[in-house]
Structure 1
Amino acid sequence: MSNNDSDSHTFDNTHADISVDACGLFCPEPVMLLHNKFRDMQAGDTLLMTATDPSTTRDVPKFCLFLGHDLVARDEQDGVYRYLLRKS
């Protein structure tokens, strides 16, 4: 597990181009946010999403698998899930 960084765009010393806060949202809203953000991103751009819904541990990897994006890293600390994704 990683410690939360002070920069909301950083995950394990990797800077994300976009940060999305899905804390407090429940399925399917976090994945809907991902779909909306990924539409405007360029290939190779990275996105850091934070969420509190445990279903994201299933939904985010499936989002990446089905759409061909990369799940670069993920962790959970104190009920907050973080995902670093890269648009393919």
Structure 2
Amino acid sequence: MHHNALLDATDLLCPEPVMMLHVEMRKIAAKDVLKVIATDPSTTRDIPKFCQFLGHTLLKQQQDEDVYCYWIEKKQV
């Protein structure tokens, strides 16, 4: 899936992936897509809640063994 930016949060534990996600979302333009790669299983709960709370769109969520990928579209301002 297409993305404009990438956040590699592998080997980081809660709350670091979501904290880094917050910083990266501020850097990209509205409607851009950020791909997040993580290995912390808590991201399966935290990242969808992050998107819902802040109004971003979680376009896709995928798991391949112990690696979790998310494609998040930044909300229109």
TM-score, shorter chain, exceeding 0.5? yes
Q: TM-score, normalised by structure 2?
A: 0.95
Which residue of structure 2 lines up, in the alignment, with residue 34 of structure 1? 21
**Alpha-carbon shift at residue 31 of structure 1 (Å):** 0.3
Which residue of structure 1 lines up, in the alignment, with residue 59 of structure 2? 72
Aligned pair count reads 75
Output one character per residue of 1:25-61: Cα deviation in whole Å (capped at 9) or x when no partner: 0000000111000111111000000000000000000
Q: Distance in 1 between matches of 2:30 and 2:7?
A: 18
Query: What does 1:54-73 align with in structure 2 at a 5 Å threshold?
Result: 54-73=41-60
**Alpha-carbon shift at residue 62 of structure 1 (Å):** 0.4
**Alpha-carbon shift at residue 78 of structure 1 (Å):** 1.4
Percent identity between matched residues is 51
- Give the root-mean-square deviation of aligned CA atoms: 0.6
* Structure 1 unaligned spans of 5+: 1-13
Report the secondary structure of 1:66's partner residue. helix
Q: TM-score, normalised by structure 1?
A: 0.83
* Structure 2 unaligned spans of 5+: none
Based on CA coordinates, which of the two structures has the bigger radius of gyration?
1
